[in-house]
Amino acid sequence: MTQHRIAVLAGDGIGPEVMAEAQKVVDAVAAQFEFGIDWHSYLVGGAAIDATGAPLPEATMSGCEAADAILFGSVGGPKWEGLPPNSQPERGSLLPLRKHFELFCNLRPAQIHPGLEGLSPLRADIAAKGMDLLVVRELTGDIYFGEPRGRHGEGEQEYGYDTMRYSRGEIRRIARLAFEAARKRRGKVCSVDKANVLQTSMLWREEVTTIAADYPDVELEHIYIDNAAMQMLRRASEFDVMLCGNLFGDILSDEAAMITGSMGLLPSASLNAAGFGMYEPAGGSAPDIAGQGIANPVAQILSASLMLRHSLNEIAAADAIDAAVSQALADGCLTNELTPAGQAGLSTAAMGDAIVARLSQGVK
């Protein structure tokens, strides 16, 4: 029986709550499809700071190195916001993990589930047309990592600065993946930039246009980030692959998540050139609802499904999870943030159970 070794980094806030449900669902699907999962849990983020003083302990890094894939929850929260920047959970663990494993390609699929148009905050006639898009977000460059960065001066004169920076090579490799993804979908790439202002974006647009010549079967549209944020609300159904740099992709993926109904629905895969991946919900540790057992585990569960698909080659198992999630949602199994105001939704654990219960049904 194939055994897969997974590094589990649950992290902070709702991270451990939704991670437990993802593990429950993966264990169930593994039994069904007869493969084994060895879970190895490691400290990360605020939880690691509290236990060891560091957001990314050596044991966590070596555990990730030894694993076939990383399943990540979320890190951060008010408790650690006062720490020096590089000691904080996000800058001290999540970004270094992405950089260390060169996880430059972040895939964030966002779908209005058929039949669940009513969950979308979009106007009904627009939501009725549906949405099925894939944000392809560059994850190891841009203003997130560009140097120099820092703070300088004192008093009124003090300023902060960051560097937005992309090389042709970095643009090329993410653009190619976006065009490849579009070929397997509806054949459209919308490249997001701010080329009317930023040098980085001018280079981005130039390079994406060059790469597009190798994909004559894929339609390319360039769009400015401000217009993209607006057009997604106006004609969500028309977008297929949205190719973005790190910062713009961060912003548009939250918007895409909310168009589907909730931050708690959007999974993501962060991949390197060798196919190694870290899988994490697009949303965060949700301090406002942490500890109450009401977070939506779907984004974490679908992230686990992406892991089965992209890193572990357990395609049938991934299909089964996706089908079970869709069925549970279609059956009206909804957590609090998706239910009409005043109505209690399912708990995190009950939502996980509802998905497990549907695993063996409806799988083609």
Ligand X SMILES: NC(=O)c1ccc[n+]([C@@H]2O[C@H](COP(=O)([O-])OP(=O)(O)OC[C@H]3O[C@@H](n4cnc5c(N)ncnc54)[C@H](O)[C@@H]3O)[C@@H](O)[C@H]2O)c1
* Ligand-binding site membership of 286 (annotated): yes
Name the token pair of 331.
């059956």
> Using the rule CB under 6 A, which residue among 270, 285, 305, 311 binds ligand X?
285
Count of other CB atoms within 10 angstroms of residue 214: 10
Asked if 295 touches ligand X (CB under 6 A), the answer is yes
- The smaller minimum CB distance to ligand IPM, of residues 284 and 352, is found at 284
- 3-class SS string, 22-81: HHHHHHHHHHHHCCEEEEEECCCHHHHHHHHCCCCCHHHHHHHHHCCEEEEEECCCHHHC
- Partner interacting with residue 117 (select from ligand X, Mg ion, ligand IPM, none; CB below 5-8 Å by kind): none
Which region, judged by CB under 6 A, interacts with ligand X, from 51-59, 209-217, 256-264, 271-279? 256-264
**What values do phi and psi take at 289, rounded to 5?**
-125, 0
Asked if 19 touches ligand X (CB under 6 A), the answer is no
* Distance of closest approach, residue 331 Cβ to ligand X, in angstroms: 19
Near ligand IPM in 69-88, by CB under 6 A: 76
d(CA 228, CA 24): 37
* Ligand-binding site membership of 165 (annotated): no
Query: Do 93 and 55 form a contact (C-beta atoms < 8 A)?
Result: yes
Q: Shortest CA distance to 251 belongs to which of 192, 207, 163?
A: 192
User: CA torsion angle for 328, 331, 332, 334 (degrees, to 10)?
Assistant: -10
Asked if 170 touches ligand IPM (CB under 6 A), the answer is no
- The smaller minimum CB distance to ligand IPM, of residues 73 and 352, is found at 73
Asked if 240 touches ligand IPM (CB under 6 A), the answer is no
Asked if 289 touches ligand X (CB under 6 A), the answer is yes
Site string for ligand X, 181-220 (x = CB under 6 A): ----------------------------------------
E strands within the chain? 3-11, 36-41, 69-74, 105-111, 132-138, 150-152, 159-161, 188-193, 219-224, 241-244, 269-271, 277-279
> Using the rule CB under 5 A, which residue among 170, 250, 280, 353 binds Mg ion?
250
d(CA 29, CA 35): 9
By the criterion CB under 6 A, which residues form the site for ligand IPM?
76, 90, 94, 250, 282, 284
Binding residue ranges: 77-90, 98, 108, 137, 226, 250, 254, 284-296
Binding residue ranges for NAD(+): 77-90, 284-296
